Amino acid sequence: MIMESHKVFGRDRIFSPKWLKLSFSPITLFFGGEAVCFPCMTADSKAETFTVWLKSLIMQGNGLTVINGNGQIVYRIDNYDEKSSREVFLMDIRGKLLFTVRRKRIWFLCDWEGYKEENGVNTEERKPFFRMKKVLRFFSRKLSCDVKLRGDESQESFCYRFEGFWGKTAFRIFDSRGGLVAETKRKQTSLGVQLGEDVMSLVLVQTNLDHSLVMALVTVYLLIQHKM
């Protein structure tokens, strides 16, 4: 199904370009109807590809929309504040909160922290599930970011590194051993037409990944790049 641009459902104005083919009714997304449940973990041996669109489906909103290979929206951020917000919320198709991402400024440095949603745990009592910060490189076009995850005993350990360039949405994610975890590139249509830099193909090379965590980390990287 291809939704028309500027189509209105209920009180929100929904935007969707012609290239964005979705296999569900938009009413399901915005009014809590039945939808397919997507697990956070995958045991498939095949690399998975997602489309990351730097646009909220709600008009006049900032955020992103993540679509799987079947054309189903699996993650979204709908932010009514300005771009480069200090706090954003990653949700699933039904609007369930998965991660809260916050910017933490220490002097002239900015670190980002991600808080995983835990049922019954007060927001203020949670400890960051991950921390992400830029690797300082003066006079370089390269942008590197290190990610540390909270261990079983609340100890942090280095897990991932993002490698890209300032102003570009293409990047690669490596694990602590230097293995490629995922990479993005500008999306192409079935006819080979390259779309703008606000539409990316995200390929998860490694299996058994927590998809919601990967999307939360990608969100932070895009915020650091001032892309959303």
Alpha-helix runs per DSSP H in the chain: 26-31, 211-224
Q: What would the pLDDT profile of 9-28 be if each residue is shown by its tens digit?
A: 344 555 556 656 655 444 33
Q: Residue 181 CB: number of other CB atoms within 10 A?
A: 19
The mean pLDDT of the chain is: 77
- pTM: predicted TM-score of the whole model, two decimal places: 0.77
Q: What would the pLDDT profile of 133-151 be if each residue is shown by its tens digit?
A: 988 888 889 999 999 998 6
Residue 128 is given by DSSP the state: P
Q: What is the CATH number of domain 46-225?
A: 2.40.160.200
The ranges assigned to domains in the chain are: 46-225
- Residue 80: which pLDDT band, with cuts at 50, 70 and 90? low
Q: In Å, how far are 51, 129, 157 from 153, measured between CA atoms?
A: 35, 12, 11
Specify the DSSP element, H or E, that contains 6.
Answer: none
For the cut 60, the answer to whether the pLDDT of residue 127 exceeds it is yes
Q: What would the pLDDT profile of 167-180 be if each residue is shown by its tens digit?
A: 888 999 999 899 99
3-state secondary structure of 30: helix
